Each structure stands twice: as C-alpha cells, then as structure tokens.
C-alpha cells in the first residue's frame, strides 16, 4: 500500500505538470498542419530540385542552427535532422495560396519514437515555416515547435541532387 507521503508526492508532481512546470506536454500554440487539405505531389512536385540554405531555432528564440532543406523526387528532407537522427526524406504535400506554395511533410526517426511535421511556405526564393518535433516517452509526450527561414541555394550541392 502507498503511504500518505507517497500519495501527496504524486499529487504535487501531477499538479506541477498540469500547471505548466513540467515539460511541454501539449502542442505549442502552432497547430499541427492538416495534410487532408493538401495535394500529394506523387513522384514529382513543383518544389523538386530546390535546395534552401536555412536557419532554424526554437519558437520565439534566435534561429542559430544552420540547415539545408532539399526537395527531390516528391520528397522533402532537412539535412540537419537527417544528420542528428537519420530522419529520412518523406513525401511532401502542397497547396497553392496567395502567399506562395505551402507544403507539409512528416518524417519519423528510425531510432527513437520521435517525429517532425514540417509546415512551410515557399515564395519565390524564400522559405519559412515551422517544424513541430514530438518525442514520446513512456511517461509523457514532449512537443516543441521550431521556426525556420532561408534562401534558395542557386547552386545546390551534389549531395542534394537525387537525395
């Protein structure tokens, strides 16, 4: 049986999480994008062949992580995330809007129960958007939102072609 002290400790820890003193258990104020409202690009898409040199950082903080975003053969990949956890290139979905070409892509880390949903807009030579990173632990789920922005790389790297 639980002692009275153990029950009080569980109540205090649970209350701390509910009041926001624990890890971020819910999605940030950025809603997770809905792919249902977008078109599949199949094996080729309007963004294919584009590579963007970008900066990435936690929502509301400086974007201080260098990254490259590559669109190829109907897939999207963040080269930095590919390096960190082998996140593979995955299909991207698009919707043309008056602000540019919106895209969504979701990828999962093969080594952890973690995934990233990318939602961005390409307008001319600019890219910007958010990445919602979610990792599931046996005791809770942590969700963080990152912001990114970048410029089209006019001379894509050799590794970007066909990757």
- Is 118's pLDDT higher than 70? yes
Examine residue 131 and state whether it is found in any structural domain, yes or no: yes
Examine residue 126 and state whether it is found in any structural domain, yes or no: yes
Examine residue 149 and state whether it is found in any structural domain, yes or no: yes
* Nearest by Cα to 87 from 67, 54, 115: 115
Examine residue 38 and state whether it is found in any structural domain, yes or no: yes
Q: Give the range of the structural domain holding residue 89, as residue numbers without chain letter.
A: 23-160
Separation of alpha carbons 119 and 54, rounded Å? 14
Q: What are the helix and strand counts (H, E) for the chain?
A: 2, 9
What average pLDDT is seen over the chain? 81
Query: What integer pLDDT is reported at residue 90 of this predicted model?
Result: 96
Token pair, residue 102, equals 């919106």
* Nearest by Cα to 81 from 54, 59, 103: 54
The share of the chain scoring above pLDDT 70, in percent, equals: 71
Examine residue 6 and state whether it is found in any structural domain, yes or no: no
CATH number, domain containing residue 128: 2.40.160
Distances in Å between the Cα of 142 and the Cα atoms of 4, 26, 30, 87, 132 are 30, 7, 14, 18, 10
- Is 75's pLDDT higher than 70? yes
Token pair 């093969």 is at which residue? Answer: 110
Examine residue 10 and state whether it is found in any structural domain, yes or no: no
* Nearest by Cα to 71 from 46, 50, 42, 44: 50
Examine residue 65 and state whether it is found in any structural domain, yes or no: yes
The number of distinct structural domains making up the chain is 1
Examine residue 112 and state whether it is found in any structural domain, yes or no: yes
Q: Contact at 8 Å (CB) between 128 and 149?
A: yes
Predicted TM-score (pTM) of the model is 0.73
Helix (H) or strand (E) holding 15: helix 4-18
Residue 87 neighbours by CB under 8 Å, 6+ apart: 77, 78, 81, 107, 108, 109, 116
């Amino acid at each position: 049986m639980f002692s009275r002290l153990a029950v009080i400790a569980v109540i205090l820890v649970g209350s701390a999480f509910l009041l926001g003193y624990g890890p971020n258990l819910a999605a940030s104020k950025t809603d997770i994008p809905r792919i249902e409202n977008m078109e599949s690009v199949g094996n080729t898409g309007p963004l294919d062949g584009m590579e963007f040199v970008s900066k990435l950082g936690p929502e509301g903080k400086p974007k201080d992580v260098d990254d490259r975003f590559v669109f190829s053969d109907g897939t999207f990949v963040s080269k930095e995330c590919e390096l960190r956890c082998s996140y593979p290139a995955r299909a991207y979905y698009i919707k043309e809007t008056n602000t540019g070409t919106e895209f969504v892509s979701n990828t999962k880390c093969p080594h952890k129960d973690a995934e990233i949903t990318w939602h961005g807009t390409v307008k001319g030579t600019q890219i910007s958007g958010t990445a919602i990173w979610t990792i599931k632990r046996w005791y809770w789920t942590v969700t963080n939102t990152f912001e990114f922005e970048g410029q089209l790389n006019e001379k894509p790297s050799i590794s970007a072609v066909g990757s």
